[in-house]
Amino acid sequence: MHRAEGNGVSEYCSVSGNFMLSDKSILKKIEKLRDDLNYHNYRYYVLNDPVISDTDYDRLMEGLKKLEEQYPELITPTSPTQRIGEELIGGFPSVTHNTLMLSLENTYSEEELREFDKRIGKTLLNERYEYIVELKIDGFAVSLEYRNGRFFRGSTRGNGAVGDEITQNLKTIKSIPLKLITNNSKLMDIEVRGEVFMPRSIFDKLNKRREKEGKSLFANPRNAAAGSIKNINPHIVAGRELDIFIHTVVPPCPFKTHFEAIIGVKEIGFKVMPVLERVKNIDEVLKICNSWQPKRARLDYDIDGMVIKVNRFEQHKRLGETIKSPRWAFAYKFPAEQAVSKIKDILLSVGRTGTITPVAILEPVRLSGSTVSRSTLHNQDEIKRKDIRIGDFVIVEKGGEVIPKVVKVVTDKRMGNEKKFRMPKKCPVCGSELVQYKGEVAIRCINRSCPAQVKGTIEHFASRDAMDIDGLGSVLVAQLVDNGLVKNFSDIYRLKMEDLVALERMGKKSSENLLAAIEESKKRGLSKFIYAIGIRYVGIKAAKLLANSFLSMDNLIHASFEEMETIEEIGPVIAESVLNFFRNRENMKEIERLRTSGIEMEIKGKVKNKVLLKGKKFVLTGALENYTRDEAKELIESLGGSVISSVSKKTDYVVCGENPGSKYGKAKKLGVKIISEEEFKKITGEKFIDK
């Protein structure tokens, strides 16, 4: 660590283009500046204990910038001046985690937490064990890897085995060290994991700014953090002022316990969990958990519970893990927060499929870290069942800490002037007659040209799981539809620069980026296209099954009901919905327009043998080098096989990648055939699948 020396501040800032220094002297000066800046970042952002003024810090930074401008060949990726990189082109690359990023089993019940303790005791028999209790931050899970003491790579959890690399965005978070404050060789190559979050104070400022700019508001700090960290522009991410708490040090590491590990990495520069209680039994655990529930509102960040971990790493190994979660850790979640508010009005929302949803407009109330002013009422039957009226005082809670819902009416507060709600007979957006099909609760607008439905279908078409058109969000979609520029999917591919730059808040650069994203979307593949066009009941999984079975849009269009029904998991409801979609003349015209625009509508490659793996059951374990979990699963299913989650005597193959989990041991015990990735390639014939 470096001392803060007042004399040094002015020394580093007297940089002039005329001075003469040897290359070695210049390098030494630059490295000293970087080390001091890293140390002061640690004091300010991690320890909250600065030892120099902001002015002196700015002088240090300015001195480093000037030197790096004069000697650009000496700039390094981990320099404090390099926290904000260039905009990412082409999306985030995938990263296979060295150790699976598992989620935690959780409960709201004290009884289930005691059951967790009993399971620990049974496995560890008469051994002594202790727990660590820490806050459960409501944030976004990330992994940080360091090599030779420098920040090497950061990634998201993803599916646990494979995530997205977001190194450039994570570098913008000033509490993440770019260089570790240590010379300990055992700590130079290390992986830690934590939760990225947005402080409540920053969240409130952000939403106020977005409201002034006419942009949609973030629902809560967690959504804001997640949306920010996956933005392709690091400059935008930097402006969101995100923060992080480190909660895990990934073995192997030179520590024997979780407590030692967290304290140890704090000393080398990491901002760690602010609460780390070491206790001897489950009663003490519950006492701490219950003490934090009423205190969470005072924090400047959201927590939704507490995390309980067995302390000793050696005991972690013997306790093991399930397919989804470690057996040595558990999350105790707080009950959903509730508040009382008044229903000022009930408005109607029209979804992309025409479903009419009543929405309660509430007097704003603070709930689980965000201000709630709207709540879905689901449908008219739900309103009748709860006897909800305009003017009622109601109890509101956040289901799962995210979506606000009306729990019940506070009937004692009724004054007699509350109004019963009646569903109108016409669409509130386009004025068309509303219909209710037999056997359905939902009431629908069946006018496909209804502006609300057009906006919803365009948003869905452009969404990440569909055509993934970055930059085409709800605000821009609304502008395009309201200005008559987009009425259907194919209109997106006819947009020109002059159309976009004329819109509010659309400059030349953002317009160029959007047009590039639209062009890139033409190559997304058949399954994404099938999902994007919005066939009723056809979700992501069904779209992949249809794509890998029929290989082209033309084949799917001409497929019979019987052909579709033969596909496992494509039942009569989906098959009939697909047939009805293609019977519609307007839908067929739109598909042809999209084809003309250049969208790829077929899987190019070898014709698959659909019976090659028919009836064969596979289990996947460990990280594969050439496939993500989803890709391997799609390949197996496209060849007639199926992927199951657990090993049994009925399993035909266990495909074993790097760092396999407990399934490997179970397969050996049951005598199930275990194959490597190379053997898997031979079995499948490396057939092409649509990603």
Distance CA 277, CA 135 (A): 10
How crowded is the C-beta side of 240, counted as CA atoms within 13 Å?
A: 31
Among the listed residues 245, 222, 221, 225, the one whose alpha carbon sits nearest the alpha carbon of residue 237: 225
Helix (H, G, I), strand (E, B) or coil at 467: coil
Distance CA 10, CA 341 (A): 57
In this structure, the number of other CB atoms found within 10 A of the CB of residue 47 comes to 11
Return all residues near 212 (Cβ < 8 A) that are at least 6 apart: none
- One of 28, 32, 118, 136 is an active-site residue; which one? 136
Helix (H, G, I), strand (E, B) or coil at 347: strand
Query: Active-site residue 408, yes or no?
Result: no
Token readout for 156 is 């998201």
DSSP state of 358: E
Q: Residue with structure tokens 């977001």?
A: 166
Helix (H, G, I), strand (E, B) or coil at 139: coil
Among the listed residues 169, 161, 119, the one whose alpha carbon sits nearest the alpha carbon of residue 140: 169
φ, ψ for residue 226 (rounded to 5)? -65, -45
Helix (H, G, I), strand (E, B) or coil at 479: helix
Q: 509 burial class (0-12, 13-18, 19+ CB within 10 angstroms)?
A: exposed
Which residues are bridge partners to 310 per DSSP?
131
| Alpha-carbon distance values, 111 to 117, 400, 455 (Å) | 10, 20, 47
Helix (H, G, I), strand (E, B) or coil at 362: strand
φ, ψ for residue 488 (rounded to 5)? -155, 180
Catalytic residues: 136
